[in-house]
Chains A and B, each alone.
Chain A
Amino acid sequence: MEQLIFYSLAGATVLFGMLVVIARNPVHSAIFLIGALMCIAGLYLQMGAEFVGGVQILVYVGGVMVLFLFVIMLVNVRTAERVRQLSPEWKTALLLAGALSVELVYLVLKGPGVFATAAPEAIPALQGNTQNVGAALYTKYLLPFEIASVLLLVAMIGAVALARSRMD
Chain B
Amino acid sequence: MAEAGIALIKIAVVLGFVLNLAALLTWAERKQSAVIQDRIGANRASVFGLRLFGLFHIAADALKMLTKEDHVPQTAEKFIHGAAPFISFFFALMGFAVIPFGDVLRVGGREIPLRILDLNIGILFIFAAIALEIYGSVLAGWSSGSHYATLGGMRGSVQMFSYEIAWGVSLLGIFMVYDSLDLNRVVLRQGDLLWGVLPKWGIVTQPLGFLLFLAAGMAITKRVPFDLPEGESEIIGYFVEYSGMKFGLFFLTDFVLTILISALLATLFFGGYQLPYLEPDGFRFPWGATWSLDHYTVVFLQFVALVLKIVFFCWLLLAVRWTYPRFRYDQLMDLGWKVLFPLAVANVILTGLVLTLIE
Q: Does A73 contact B (CB under 8 A)?
A: yes
Distance between Cα atoms of A92 and B130 in the complex (Å): 43
Please state if A73 and B124 are interface contacts (CB–CB under 8 Å). Answer: no
B138 touches A50 (CB 8 A): no
* Contact present for A27 and B142 (CB under 8 Å): yes
> What is the CA–CA distance of A34 and B134 in the complex, to the nearest angstrom?
13
Of A51, A53, A66, which is within 8 A of B161 by CB?
A66
Asked whether A66 lies within 8 Å of B138 as measured between CB atoms, the reply is yes
Is A9 positioned at the interface, with any CB of B under 8 Å from its CB? no
Contact status of A62 and B119, CB under 8 A, knowing A57-B132, A69-B157:
no
Of A31, A53, A58, A128, chain B has the most CB atoms within 10 Å of the CB of A58
State whether B157 touches A130 (Cβ < 8 A): no
Judged by a CB distance under 8 angstroms, whether B314 is at the interface is no
How far in angstroms is the closest Cβ of chain B from A107? 33
Q: Among the listed B132, B141, B182, which residue makes an inter-chain contact with A61, where contact means beta carbons less than 8 Å apart?
A: B132
Residues from chain A with Cβ under 8 Å of B120 in the complex: 50-51, 128-130
A-B contacts, CB under 8 A, total:
70
Contact of A57 among B128, B142, B158, B160 (CB under 8 A): B128
B-contact bits for A47-70, CB 8 A (1 contact / 0 none): 000110111011001110011011
A61-B131, A62-B164, A66-B134 known; A55+B124 contact, CB < 8 A:
yes
What B residues does A130 contact at CB under 8 A?
A: 120-121, 181
Residues A129 and B158 in contact in the complex (CB < 8 Å), given A57-B132, A58-B127, A73-B153: no
Residues in B neighbouring A54, C-beta threshold 8 A: 121, 124-125, 127-128
Contacts A50-B121, A54-B124, A58-B124; is A70 near B131 (CB within 8 Å)?
no
Q: Is B97 an interface residue (CB 8 A)?
A: no
A106 to B127, CA, bound (A): 41
Residues A73 and B142 in contact in the complex (CB < 8 Å), given A34-B135, A62-B134: yes
Which residues of A lie under 8 Å from residue B160 when comparing CB positions? 66
Interface centre among B119, B135, B160 (most CB of A within 10 A): B135
**Which residue of chain A has the shortest Cβ distance to B164 in the bound complex?**
A62
- Residues facing A in B131-173 (CB within 8 A) are 131-132, 134-135, 138-139, 141-142, 150, 153-154, 157-158, 160-161, 164, 168
Whole-angstrom distance between the Cβ of A75 and the nearest chain B Cβ: 12
The residue from B131, B139, B153, B180 contacting A127, defined by CB atoms under 8 A apart:
B180
Q: Known interface pairs A69-B142, A70-B158, A73-B142. Does A62 touch B121 (Cβ–Cβ under 8 Å)?
A: no
A70 touches B154 (CB 8 A): yes
Task: Give residues 79-133 of A contacting B (CB, 8 Å).
Answer: 127-130
Q: Mark B230-244, 1 if CB is under 8 A from A, else 0.
A: 000000000000000
Q: Does A1 contact B (CB under 8 A)?
A: no
In the bound complex, do residue A66 and residue B121 qualify as a contact, i.e. CB atoms below 8 Å apart?
A: no
| A153 vs chain B, min Cβ distance (A) | 14
Q: Which of B80, B128, B180 contacts A58 (CB 8 A)?
A: B128
In the complex formed, the residue of B with least CB distance to A65 is B135
Q: In the assembly, what is the distance between CA of A62 and CA of B132, in Å? A: 6
Q: Which residues of B contact A73 (CB under 8 A)?
A: 138, 141-142, 150, 153-154
User: In the complex, what's the smallest C-beta–C-beta distance from B110 to chain A, in angstroms?
Assistant: 25
**A74 within 8 Å of B by Cβ?**
yes
Please indicate the chain B residues that have their CB under 8 angstroms from the CB of A50 in the complex: 119-121, 124
Instruction: Give the docked Cα–Cα distance between A129 and B154 (Å).
Output: 35
A155 to B183, CA, bound (A): 35
A90–B157 alpha-carbon span in the complex (Å): 36
For the complex, give the distance between the alpha carbons of A127 and B189 in Å: 15
Q: With A73-B153, A73-B154, A130-B181 in contact, do A31 and B80 touch (Cβ < 8 Å)?
A: yes
Q: Which residues of A contact B161 (CB under 8 A)?
A: 62-63, 66-67
- Interfacial residues, chain A to chain B (CB-CB below 8 A): 27, 31, 34, 50-51, 53-55, 57-58, 61-63, 66-67, 69-70, 73-74, 127-130
A-B pairs with the 3 shortest C-beta distances?
A62-B131, A54-B124, A57-B128
